[in-house]
């Protein structure tokens, strides 16, 4: 049994990492400032005294150091971040959380002798794909501030791992969705907006022609990749794509939601922003080969879970 700290542990991916760590019998500490995290994502574990929760901001090194000193974690999974839309809206906050915050976590891992650090990068580092499926050697072409902060994160991880010996594993997540997500993930927020909108008979917005694609993978599976990497001593200082390897057209996702709800959407078509990525499709061969990663939740199953959760009134 190990002590594991999860930053952003009340969020979409982080809370699934927390669940899986607890299931494996580890002791878990969560840092979250609840900017986009949900108390209900960790409420059961808190009620059952299965986690320690520190409501703290990773932008403050004093705060980060205080938490590391108090719990002395052996492993860390760093998922706290400002998402795409808020990063563009609040650029200084994006730098403070995604770059300074990440550096604070790396530095504390170094100071407190953490055995391994896993963390969330993003497919945003690639920009608009030059070829499909996108593998890890695809050139970087970050086209927004969020993508730039992810490239900076990767550079910090790489440089500090070599000069200070903090082993890391980073994940370039593609479109990671779950019923637990807040708003702010530009592409996958359609789940919440469309499920509620269609169910309530309200107009929903479709950007562009609906031919644009996402590579959707459920947060449960993204969390699993973190667990596989964390405790595998043979894998360190690597980045992996995490997706399903399949493209889903936005218009097909809409049709799926309509079918599952048994209702037709009132769709308002809006011109697409040319800055938005038109296709996402990951090559996940590296993660399959080196980590034994396999996505297990289909888009149909994930959408069903999302609908059940939302319409039970939990969001």
Ligand X SMILES: NC(=O)c1ccc[n+]([C@@H]2O[C@H](COP(=O)([O-])OP(=O)(O)OC[C@H]3O[C@@H](n4cnc5c(N)ncnc54)[C@H](O)[C@@H]3O)[C@@H](O)[C@H]2O)c1
CB 120 within 8 A of CB 81: yes
**Cβ closest to ligand X, residue 112 vs residue 267:** 112
Q: How far is the CB of 201 from ligand X (least distance, A)?
A: 28
97 near ligand X, rule: CB under 6 A: yes
Q: Is 166 or 222 the residue whose CB approaches ligand X more closely? A: 222
Q: Where are the alpha helices (DSSP H) in 200-280?
A: 219-230, 250-261
DSSP notation for 30-90: EEE--SS--GGGTHHHHHTT-EEEEE--TT-HHHHHHHHHHH--SEEEE-----HHHHHHS
Residue 191 binds to ligand X (criterion: CB under 6 A): no
Stretch that binds ligand X, among 57-65, 193-201, 202-210, 263-271 (CB under 6 A): 57-65
Q: Where are the alpha helices (DSSP H) in the chain?
A: 12-23, 43-47, 61-71, 84-89, 91-94, 102-111, 145-164, 190-199, 219-230, 250-261, 285-291, 299-311
Q: Which of 4, 10, 117, 195 binds ligand X (CB under 6 A)?
A: 10
Among 32, 154, 215, 247, binds ligand X (CB under 6 A): 32
What is the smallest separation between the CB atom of 174 and ligand X, expressed in angstroms? 7
The span of 51-59, 135-143, 270-278, 301-309 binding ligand X (CB under 6 A) equals 51-59
Among candidate residues 232, 243, 230, 256, the one with its CA nearest the CA of residue 297: 243
104 binds ligand X (CB under 6 A): no
Q: Which range, of 105-113, 178-186, 266-274, 297-305, touches ligand X by CB under 6 A?
A: 178-186
Among 4, 6, 14, 206, binds ligand X (CB under 6 A): 14
Question: Which phi-psi region, left, alpha or beta, contains residue 72 (left: φ > 0; alpha: ψ -120 to 50)?
Answer: left
Q: Which parts of this chain interact with ligand X (CB under 6 A)?
A: 8, 10-14, 31-37, 57-59, 79-83, 97, 101, 120, 122, 173, 175-176, 181-182, 184-185, 188
């Amino acid at each position: 049994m190990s002590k594991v700290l999860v930053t952003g542990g009340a969020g979409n991916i982080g809370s699934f990492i927390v669940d899986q760590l607890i299931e494996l019998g580890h002791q878990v500490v969560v840092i979250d400032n609840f900017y986009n995290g949900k108390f209900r994502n960790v409420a059961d574990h808190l009620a059952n005294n299965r986690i320690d929760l520190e409501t703290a901001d990773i932008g403050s090194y004093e705060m980060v150091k205080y938490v590391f000193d108090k719990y002395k974690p052996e492993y860390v999974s760093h998922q706290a971040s400002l998402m795409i839309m808020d990063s563009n809206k609040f650029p200084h906050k994006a730098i403070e959380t995604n770059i300074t915050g990440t550096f604070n976590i790396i530095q504390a891992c170094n100071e407190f002798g953490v055995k391994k650090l896993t963390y969330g990068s993003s497919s945003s580092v690639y920009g608009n794909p030059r070829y499909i499926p996108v593998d890890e050697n695809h050139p970087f072409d970050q086209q927004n501030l969020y993508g730039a902060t992810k490239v900076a994160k990767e550079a910090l991880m790489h440089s500090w791992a070599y000069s200070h010996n903090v082993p890391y594993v980073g994940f370039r997540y593609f479109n990671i969705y779950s019923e637990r997500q807040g708003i702010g993930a530009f592409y996958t927020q359609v789940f919440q907006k469309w499920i509620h909108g269609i169910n309530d008979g309200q107009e929903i917005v479709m950007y562009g022609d609906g031919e644009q694609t996402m590579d959707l993978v459920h947060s449960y599976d993204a969390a699993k990749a973190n667990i596989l990497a964390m405790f595998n001593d043979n894998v360190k200082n690597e980045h992996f794509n995490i997706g399903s390897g399949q493209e889903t057209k936005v218009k097909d996702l809409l049709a799926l939601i309509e079918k599952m709800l048994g209702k037709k959407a009132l769709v308002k078509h809006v011109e697409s922003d040319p800055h938005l990525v038109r296709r996402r499709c990951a090559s996940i061969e590296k993660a399959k080969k080196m980590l034994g990663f396999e996505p297990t939740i289909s888009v149909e199953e994930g959408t069903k879970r999302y609908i059940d959760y939302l319409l039970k009134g939990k969001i």
